[in-house]
């Protein structure tokens, strides 16, 4: 593993869309998925909108009142008339779309694409405009602006999903969320961002190419490129709406707490791997670390699992330990380094239905997001837990059987059984979030295959 020897690439920030390498940090969002009626109209609309997309250059002064991203599904590239040879050269998972990958992701039963929200997973969603601001009136103004340009060119809004941060940046189960992110070389790191443990337990930053196309990644200084114009400065976006059954979660943790003689908050923390305040069980196994530690993102996120091989402090199958096992698998961080993701999700509340709009940016959907969902969350084999799924987002047949369990560790080990479902997929899409110049190329309808020119 030559991870630490890769040359540190400097990202072309004016070409990369904002929110990828550094979070925008707004508290509200609106995600408008739109259907493009024909290529001419789609390009004309895009031409009007590209200039409003926010890039990744640092804001010199006060932050703007709003920011925007634009991304496209595979069906969207088709609708915009992208050359079939370019489309054919894009990765299979992206071409299939999230609904097409339901079997890989375990989206069956109540999570099956047939039961998803209207407009998601059907091929109708072509373009996604994600808008962010800090107050509701600004979000509404931005939404009106996008809707009116869309209607001028005949684009239909097929999904309008709003999101808003909850107090203290918590998700609906009450846990502080979103602060554990990968450190990327060449990018100023955010507080709390963590790298990949080397064999001495030191955390090293990940190469840029793990998240943005066209830069060195862990495997190579010159990884295989997507076809132009998508070969540089873009990324893939995983957009997944996950409903959370908060009452069921609270009832489950209280009931099992009674049986095991533990407070409900401890049961919940063992399922997540962190206390509600965000402090990790690895560092604070018996009670939360306290406000001072929780406020210090660096302290809450600088830990490994290698010194807790039996999951006595943090259960082997806890959500955060599965989603990023750090050095918890053999060979330090070698087995985990290529499966990291940048997360930019935000909670949603649609009347009685609430949950998380999970958003991840990755260079490779299959190797990063799907691998984690399929092998680490839906299965427990990698952690010596047989087919035990993640207690929060795991899905497998055992979830609904009477035999499923979550192992809490300890001597003797304790279990939560049977399992229950607290999270249901309401729908989702895989998108390409192109560089800003690739968006212009799409808007101009430039013949994309012939302009192939390497870098
Ligand atoms: C409703 C669904 C979900 C809930 C409630 C949830 C909750 C959480 C919480 C509370 C944390 C700890 C805070 C943090 O590290 O920032 C976390 C971390 C994380 N989650 Fe989730 N999550 C959900 C879905 C997912 C999904 C679908 C994936 C990917 C398949 C995922 C991957 C991760 C990763 C990679 C981390 C960071 C772990 C680390 O670096 O230590 N989560 N999640």
Among 93, 165, 319, 371, residue to substitute to test ligand 1 (most atoms within 8 Å of Cβ) = 319
39 Cα: distance to centroid of ligand 1 (angstroms): 37
Q: What is the C-alpha to C-alpha distance for residues 308 and 76, in angstroms, rounded to an integer?
A: 46
- CA torsion sign for 218, 222, 227, 228 is positive
34 contacts: CB under 8 Å, gap ≥ 6 = 125, 126, 127, 128, 129, 150, 155, 156, 157, 158
Strand partners, 32: 129, 160
pLDDT at 449: 55
Give the residue ranges of the chain where pLDDT is below 50.
Answer: 1, 451-455
CB 424 within 8 A of CB 201: no
pLDDT at 256: 96
Q: Indicate which residue's Cα is closest to atom 9 of ligand 1.
A: 177
393 Cα: distance to centroid of ligand 1 (angstroms): 9
130 Cα: distance to centroid of ligand 1 (angstroms): 21
CB 7 within 8 A of CB 221: yes
CB 371 within 8 A of CB 221: no
Among 297, 358, 425, residue to substitute to test ligand 1 (most atoms within 8 Å of Cβ) = 358
| Ligand 1 atom at minimum distance from 242 CA | 1
Is 358's C-beta closer than 6 angstroms to any atom of ligand 1? yes
Q: Indicate which residue's Cα is closest to atom 27 of ligand 1.
A: 393
CB 225 within 8 A of CB 216: no
323 Cα: distance to centroid of ligand 1 (angstroms): 7
Is 356's C-beta closer than 6 angstroms to any atom of ligand 1? yes
pLDDT at 447: 55
Q: What is the C-alpha to C-alpha distance for residues 342 and 215, in angstroms, rounded to an integer?
A: 16
Tokens 């097929």 correspond to what residue?
158
pLDDT at 3: 54
440 Cα: distance to centroid of ligand 1 (angstroms): 34
Token pair recorded at residue 58:
């640092």
Q: What is the C-alpha to C-alpha distance for residues 75 and 78, in angstroms, rounded to an integer?
A: 5
Angle CA 378–381–385, to nearest 5: 95
Tokens 């750090």 correspond to what residue?
326
pLDDT at 47: 96
178 Cα: distance to centroid of ligand 1 (angstroms): 7
């Amino acid at each position: 593993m030559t991870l630490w020897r890769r040359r540190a690439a400097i990202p072309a920030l004016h070409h990369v869309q904002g929110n990828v390498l550094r979070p925008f940090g707004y508290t509200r969002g609106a995600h408008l998925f739109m259907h493009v009626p024909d290529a001419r109209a789609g390009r004309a609309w895009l031409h009007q909108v590209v200039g409003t997309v926010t890039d990744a250059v640092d804001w010199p002064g006060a932050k703007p009142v709003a920011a925007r991203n634009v991304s496209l599904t595979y069906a969207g590239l088709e609708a915009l008339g992208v050359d079939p040879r370019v489309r054919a050269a894009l990765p299979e998972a992206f071409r299939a779309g999230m609904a097409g990958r339901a079997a890989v992701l375990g989206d069956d039963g109540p999570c099956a694409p047939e039961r998803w929200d209207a407009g998601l997973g059907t091929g109708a969603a072509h373009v996604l405009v994600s808008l962010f601001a800090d107050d509701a009136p600004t979000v509404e103004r931005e939404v009106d602006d996008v809707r009116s340009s869309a209607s001028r060119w005949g684009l239909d809004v097929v999904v309008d999903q709003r999101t808003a941060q909850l107090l203290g940046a918590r998700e609906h189960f009450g846990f502080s969320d979103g602060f554990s992110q990968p450190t990327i070389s060449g990018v100023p790191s955010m507080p709390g961002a963590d790298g990949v443990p080397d064999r001495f337990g030191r955390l090293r930053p990940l190469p840029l190419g793990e998240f943005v196309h066209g830069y060195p990644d862990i495997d190579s200084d010159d990884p295989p490129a997507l076809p132009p114009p998508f070969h540089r400065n873009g990324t893939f976006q995983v957009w997944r709406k996950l409903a959370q059954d908060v009452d069921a979660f609270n009832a489950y943790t209280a009931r099992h707490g009674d049986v095991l003689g533990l407070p409900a908050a401890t049961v919940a923390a063992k399922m997540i791997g962190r206390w509600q305040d965000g402090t990790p069980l690895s560092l604070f196994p018996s009670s939360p670390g306290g406000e001072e530690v929780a406020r210090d993102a660096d302290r809450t996120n600088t830990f490994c699992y290698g010194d807790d091989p039996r999951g006595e402090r943090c259960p082997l199958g806890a959500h955060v330990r599965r989603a990023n096992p750090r050095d918890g698998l053999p060979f330090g961080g070698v087995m985990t380094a290529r499966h990291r993701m940048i997360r930019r999700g935000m909670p949603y509340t649609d009347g009685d239905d609430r949950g998380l709009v999970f958003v991840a940016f990755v260079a490779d959907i299959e190797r990063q997001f799907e691998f984690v969902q399929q092998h680490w969350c839906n299965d427990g084999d990698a952690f010596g837990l047989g087919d035990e799924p993640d207690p929060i987002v795991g899905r497998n047949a055992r979830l609904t059987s009477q035999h499923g369990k979550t192992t809490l560790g300890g001597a003797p080990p304790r279990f939560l059984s049977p399992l229950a479902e607290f999270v249901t997929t309401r729908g989702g899409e895989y998108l390409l979030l192109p560089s800003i110049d690739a968006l212009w190329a799409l808007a101009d309808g430039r013949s994309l295959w012939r302009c192939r020119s390497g870098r």
